[in-house]
Chains A and B, each alone.
Chain A
Amino acid sequence: MISHPMFLMRATACAAALLITAPAVASSPSAEAPSWSPKASETLVKLPAAYLKKNLDQDFIDSQLGRALTETETNIELKGKTLSDLKAAIGQARGDDLKMELRHQLLAEKRAFIDLMSRKNDMKRQRATTKLKLFENMIRVAGEKNGRQSPDVAALIEKQDAAHRRFAKSAVQVDMRVFETGQAPESRYAAQYAENLQAIEKLMGRISAHSANQAAVGDDGTPISREEHLRHLMLEAQAELSLLDQEDTVLGYMAKLVALDALALSEQALDADLADSNLPGDVSAAKAVSMFLGN
């Protein structure tokens, strides 16, 4: 028999609280919002593509928001264990009072679990939004560096490129011609340039083969440009935001279910209490007639 008035009050209050908070669970902002401000995008844009994501992740982990998210995830894990323990305890509990008390505790813990999940989603959303803005900014900075050229400058660059191509094709031929005619021995500039070029080529070879300078690769394993890599990262952040929206819907339904469970529990407690109570109006006049007959 459940007749504890304190328990009844708590169950009712819990149900009411859950009903009030259930619709708002997905969008409740945290009181103290930890933040994350990544490094300047000008610095990040210079990093090799493969290191950009790692560097950004490390920057996030070290941030206030990153630490808060890690802490919340640990709390969620612990809360999950508490829920499992409570569920097991309800199965093994003897006596309605204890069972009801444990169910009440389970509902309260479920609510706390949903709150934590909601907070975690808020933080993840903040991270994804920050990343998205950062990548947009990086693409803009990279675009500015590449520069939108005026038609005149574009035409000039085209001519310069054509001149370089022509020079590259004819340089050896010109050297041979000079050698054939025996005009002059190789100049100091030419000799020094060739020597420096060899050194540059060696260094360039080493740089391009360096593990820290490997280009990012696409889904099919082929190397992709920096801008393409940034767009890929933006897509990932956007996908995370979309999934978080969906996860919020799941959490909303979970909260609704907990609220309904709380209502059911409250109703059950009320039923038991009403069964025990001596409510007036149960005795009809007709049933009392016998008391007036016979004397």
Chain B
Amino acid sequence: MKSTVFAAALIALTVPAVQAGTLENLERERALLIEVFRDAGLSLAERQSRIESTMPRLIDLERMVLRDDSLKGRNTPAVRKAFANYDLTFLAHASAEHRRTALDTWLEQIGMTTAALTSARIGRRY
């Protein structure tokens, strides 16, 4: 009994309570969405359905981040990176703003445009 209490106390002391912030939650949801984009095993309909089901959650999470006052001026790598590119971080809002799909917006932001793909050549890189 005593050892259990001691162990519990030790765990409480050594393991800090980890609470994901708004930004971490957004990044997790965005990562899941990008995974859907990249999943070659999904059919077109399946991908579309999964994207549509993710988008409302992503919109909410993006708004939570944008309204989160605790992030204001917090100079951490994650926050800096998040606000460095609005279109990439706030993918749902940026795509709705540009009246494009989230996939198109994402591909454009990472440099995979139609023009870039059509002008690409197959070859060996030395």
Contact = CB atoms under 8 A, between A and B. Distances in A.
A189 B93 contact: no
Interface stretch (A24-32, A152-160, A205-213, A276-284): A152-160
A163 B60 contact: no
Interface string B26-65: 0000000000000000000000000011011101100110
B48 to A, nearest CB: 11
Interface in A146-192: 149-150, 152-153, 156-157, 159-160, 162-164, 166-167, 170-171, 173-174, 177-178, 181, 183-184, 187, 189-190
Contacts of A184: 52-53, 55-56
B97 A163 contact: no
Contact of A156 (B64, B66, B80, B96): B80
B64 A177 contact: no
Contacts of B90: 163, 167
A183 B55 contact: yes
Given A156-B79, A174-B97, A164 B66 contact: yes
Contact of A167 (B52, B72, B93): B93
Contacts of A178: 55-56, 59, 96
Contact of A183 (B56, B74, B75, B93): B56
Contacts of B59: 174, 178, 187, 190
Contacts of B63: 167, 171, 189-190, 193
Nearest to B86: A163
A163 B53 CA distance: 25
A215 B69 CA distance: 24
A83 to B, nearest CB: 64
Given A183-B55, A187-B56, A190-B60, A163 B66 contact: yes
Given A163-B66, A163-B86, A183-B56, A152 B75 contact: yes
B84 interface: yes
A192 B125 CA distance: 54
Given A164-B66, A183-B56, A157 B92 contact: no
Given A156-B79, A159-B83, A173 B71 contact: no
Contacts of B16: none
B96 A163 contact: no
Contacts of A157: 72-73
Nearest to A149: B73
A193 B60 CA distance: 10
Nearest to B99: A177
A76 B53 CA distance: 84
Contacts of A150: 75
B66 A159 contact: no
Nearest to B74: A156
Contacts of B74: 156
Given A159-B83, A189-B64, A174 B72 contact: no
Contacts of A149: 73
Interface of A: 149-150, 152-153, 156-157, 159-160, 162-164, 166-167, 170-171, 173-174, 177-178, 181, 183-184, 187, 189-190, 193
Given A156-B80, A193-B63, 10 more contacts: A156-B83, A163-B86, A166-B97, A167-B63, A167-B93, A170-B93, A173-B96, A174-B93, A184-B55, A190-B59
